[in-house]
Amino acid sequence: MHSETINHDQSTPRVSAVVISVGVALVFVLLVSGASYYFFKGTVSSEMAQKEGEPMSRDLQKLHQEEERSLNGSRMPISSAMKAVVQDYKHE
């Protein structure tokens, strides 16, 4: 026959163990997050420095020269350029 009482664990939980475990887990997550952030930041900055130090290809240099030539012939104030763009748009 069955008794009417439920025999479950009735011991009090060790709060200090739970608090320490949560604290250690939180510190671990913060350390991993911080290390990941600084690793990412260092990787990106080293890649940017490497790209800035690379010489430009001849095609890119030619493109920049062509852009400079086309821009040098048409220097005007920005307000005049904006009006010219609006007029070109209206005439299309």
- pLDDT band with cut points at 50, 70 and 90 for residue 37: very high
Q: How far is CA 38 from CA 9, 31, 35, 41, 47, in A?
A: 46, 11, 5, 5, 14
Residue 39 has pLDDT above 60, yes or no: yes
Tokens, residue 17: 């163990």
Is the model's pTM score more than 0.75? Answer: no
Q: Is 77 left (phi over 0), alpha (psi -120 to 50) or beta?
A: beta
- Expressed in angstroms, the distance from the first to the final Cα of the chain is 96
**Separation between Cα atoms, residue 23 and residue 21, nearest integer Å:** 5
Tokens, residue 37: 């952030």
